[in-house]
Amino acid sequence: MKKNNTENKKYKALGIMGGTFDPIHYGHLVTAEEARCQFNLDVVVFVPSGKPPHKKDYRVSDAKHRYLMTVLAVVTNPFFDVSRIEIDREGYSYTIDTVKAFRKKYPWSEIFFITGADAILEILTWKKVEEIMDHCRFIAATRPGYNLSDLDKKFKAILPEYSNRVETIEVPALAISSTDIRRRVAMDKSIKYLVPEAVEQYIWKNNLYKS
């Protein structure tokens, strides 16, 4: 118990990168790395979602595959880690539960939730958004086609008392999305250089996204 307490004190700041990661791609990895460097994060923990409440309508790949691809993708970065917290939890995955679990485990750390700019406005529709914001700050990264100052204005208009909890960062324009990768695989098109080599091999080996 004591050892754990010391362990958990070592992070001054940590990042959580949530996602379906179906599959994980270089857009996610570049965003996490940029956030780590700009905000001096000691670690970025990737949290593949279990049953995402907002993706009820499309078939999400088995959590086992999404978890393993995420592990394969982060092995080369000593500052990246993967958590099973959402995939081991029963029922739908809600970010509030995840953030609260991290807060409990790391009471002394500043926690940043990293998302793409498209996701930040969606967050306003999440369960208990104010409570989430009480526990962590947000880092919203640009994705091609999104205007950061517009986003800032929209955010201030909707949730003014929490706008100082949201930071924005510019990441090299990456138009990569998991949807596009799944589509490419289904059409037998190349996904080389869109995902790490090991993830690409994993997709072929396990026959993912073929139908």
- 43/176 with CB nearer ligand ATP: 176
Find the binder of ligand ATP among 73, 132, 139, 174 (CB under 6 A).
174
Find the binder of ligand ATP among 15, 16, 19, 86 (CB under 6 A).
19
- Nearest residue to ligand ATP, scored by beta-carbon proximity: 116
Find the binder of ligand ATP among 176, 195, 199, 208 (CB under 6 A).
176
196 binds ligand ATP per the rule CB under 6 A: no
CA 65/CA 23 separation, integer angstroms? 9
Number of residues that bind ligand ATP (CB under 6 A): 19
Find the binder of ligand ATP among 11, 14, 15, 20 (CB under 6 A).
20
CB of 107 to ligand ATP, least distance (A): 25
Q: How many CA atoms lie within 13 A of 210 on its CB side?
A: 6
Residues between 84 and 123 with contacts to ligand ATP, criterion CB under 6 A: 115-116, 118-119
143 binds ligand ATP per the rule CB under 6 A: yes
The answer to whether the beta carbons of residues 15 and 44 sit under 8 Å apart is: yes
Find the binder of ligand ATP among 14, 178, 191, 199 (CB under 6 A).
178
27 binds ligand ATP per the rule CB under 6 A: yes
Smallest CA-to-CA distance from 60 within 48, 74, 70, 75 is with 48
The answer to whether the beta carbons of residues 158 and 130 sit under 8 Å apart is: no
The binding site for ligand ATP (CB under 6 A) comprises 19-22, 27-28, 31, 115-116, 118-119, 141, 143, 171, 174, 176-179
